[in-house]
Chain A
């Protein structure tokens, strides 16, 4: 009996303390950590079309089309198929592709999840966080020196 009482007392304590741990999403979105991996952002200005991201991608999510001069024509990424492993960002030598914190995306059909380079460029920063800042705190030491602002827009 004492065990039963203890159980019931425990739940009652939780009921009366009035605390809740769920939040009213979307009015109150939980914080994501700076390292969180969401939808990609792509910068054609930075990309050197080395195709390393396409090669490393474990499940062929990235498709790159080049002309016969090896100039980039298309950069397509199926964000519905992506497993958000961040390997593309990791191998990219110029930070042309990176994963924002943005996890809020919807579409009516699977096909709409295939983003081309324009759509990838227009993916908004989530709450204005620049993820590279936290992932590579000392990146200014090895990238972008003298380049000024990194422009993804």
Chain B
């Protein structure tokens, strides 16, 4: 599974090129090959990044810059651009850009892919590679006053980070009144009722209209990548994905790690476990989308409204099921490499009937939400044609998940890059063409119905599963030591979009580099596109419709 690209349902758009053809296309740009388990990798010179990326984007159709990974080796720095196609994400290619150990400078890919902006800022912040031509190379997760780059090899963790107060940016310090401009600078957050956590939006207002908006993130940075790098593959990493997107999307996150690590260590997951995983993951998706609906209604309605409580109530029901299954309501730690930790709870019939009860109730409840929210004229007035995100812009920013599908792009890894049991089941990918806040909400609400369909089929499958074939875990060695210098990047469709994990092994039982591609991180980057020129209430609505979780943005 890991080495061979899977058959894709709609690969006819741009013909797939073999690695050799790609190498020929890039010609002299390629210095060497550095293949990853998931994709061919081409090593290029650090000053040809833009050229290479634009050839791959324009001529070979690799239009999705999924992730930029940066890391430091003993003798060099390295940035990896993980490229995919929106039409067929199984076609992948990695562009490996080594940079000088003493003076790590590399050309920025921002001119080709807008999304590289934040990714490269993060690479600069945490690893210390400097990107030429980057429009705004500042730290993104850590404070501007931070000394050193925490993921570089010579970083001294015990060095005190003391910054004098004047060294900090004071947002009101250069606040000045001049006669020319009649704009107002407004800090929205980090403590604000509608920022869904600790997000800081620096907005410039003209009247009530937004002229400029910039997100300031990093308040919830918890060194998740570093923590994963100091945990063992077999056990210690799995509890943490639950805490990236902590809005009960835990199983979806766990799956991202499980998929990458299983492909890295070549572990085959039993089918029975795949079905349970699929069912659990979709329950999580329902829970996550219910909260998205709830908070979005809260952002637009503005008070502690009924919609919020009803959606939370429905979410409770899914969480009860998940609690029965996994033993926890949010931080599940249910997946293990090679399967899941427990079979369905006994008595199984009771679990099935509880799940079916929930599924039976769901259509009525969704009808209620439509009555309450989407058919409400004021709600439509507020959300239709606000927060516009055209599909091309969304792709350029690497937006994924309901945000991208709300812009009419048919991209869902569950179908396009199948994993688990999804390709055996009957369900649809939802898209809406409105590109606005309303479409994104509609996508989420319909996805809940699709998830319910999937769960229903899984329950049927599980019920009829022969008793002696109920293997929940593959035979996995107690200590996993993948081969030295294997690299893999794998993504799954999490509640918010494409959640990818890059792992580089170094022959020990802990990853040498663990990089998380957070969908919220890329999605949040689109906010200025949606917000500029709109009113403050629309900015709040747009932010709500992005459905970000700061725990995942900042990691």
Contacts and interface: CB of A to CB of B under 8 A. Distances in A.
Interface of A: 1-4, 6-7, 9-11, 14, 21, 32-37, 56, 58, 83-87, 90-91, 134-135, 137
A37 B306 contact: no
A3 B377 contact: yes
B239 A87 contact: yes
B159 interface: no
B79 interface: no
The 6 closest A-B pairs by CB, nearest first: A35-B327, A85-B239, A58-B236, A3-B375, A85-B333, A6-B371
A58 B510 CA distance: 12
Interface string B238-268: 1110010000000000000000000000000
Interface stretch (B117-125, B338-346, B516-524): B338-346
Interface of B: 231, 235-240, 243, 306, 310, 313, 316, 320, 323-328, 331, 333, 341-342, 345-346, 368, 371-373, 375-380
B308 to A, nearest CB: 12
A114 to B, nearest CB: 20
B239 A33 contact: no
Given A33-B324, A87-B239, 6 more contacts: A3-B376, A37-B328, A83-B243, A85-B238, A86-B327, A90-B235
A33 B327 CA distance: 7
B324 A35 contact: yes
B235 A87 contact: yes
A4 B323 CA distance: 37
Nearest to A57: B236
A6 B376 contact: yes
B377 A85 contact: no
A4 B371 contact: no
A87 B337 CA distance: 13
Nearest to A37: B327
A107 to B, nearest CB: 21
B323 A10 contact: no
A139 B240 CA distance: 28
Contacts of A32: 323
A56 B235 contact: yes
A87 B371 CA distance: 45
Which one of A3, A32, A91, A135 has the highest number of Cβ atoms from chain B below 10 Å of its Cβ? A3
A83 B331 contact: yes
Contact of A4 (B235, B327, B368, B377): B377
Contacts of A35: 323-327, 342, 345
Contact of B378 (A4, A9, A83, A87): A4
Contacts of B243: 83
A7 B376 contact: yes
A87 B310 CA distance: 35
Given A21-B316, A35-B323, A135 B342 contact: yes
Contacts of A83: 239, 243, 331
A135 B334 CA distance: 13
Contacts of B378: 3-4
Given A32-B323, A83-B239, A85-B239, A90 B380 contact: no
A137 B346 contact: yes
B44 to A, nearest CB: 38
Nearest to B237: A58
Contacts of B377: 1-4
Contacts of A58: 231, 235-237, 239-240
24 contacts: A3-B379, A4-B377, A7-B375, A7-B376, A7-B379, A21-B313, A32-B323, A33-B323, A33-B327, A34-B345, A35-B324, A35-B342, A36-B328, A56-B236, A58-B240, A84-B328, A84-B331, A85-B331, A86-B341, A87-B236, A87-B239, A87-B333, A134-B346, A137-B346
B431 to A, nearest CB: 24
Contacts of A91: 235
A4 B379 CA distance: 9
A4 B320 CA distance: 33
Contacts of B376: 3-4, 6-7
A90 B323 CA distance: 18
Nearest to B306: A11
A58 to B, nearest CB: 4
Given A58-B239, A87-B235, A10 B346 contact: no
Contacts of B328: 36-37, 84
B357 to A, nearest CB: 15
A33 B236 CA distance: 25
A37 B326 CA distance: 9
Given A33-B327, A134-B346, A6 B375 contact: yes
Contacts of A3: 375-380
B239 A36 contact: no
A84 B331 CA distance: 8
Contacts of B373: 7
Give the one of A10, A34, A36 with max B CB within 10 A.
A10
A90 B236 contact: no
A4 B374 CA distance: 10
A34 B368 CA distance: 33
Contacts of B326: 35
Contacts of A34: 345
A85 B239 CA distance: 6
A85 to B, nearest CB: 4
Q: Which of A21, A58, A91 has the most B CB atoms < 10 Å from its CB?
A: A58
A109 to B, nearest CB: 23
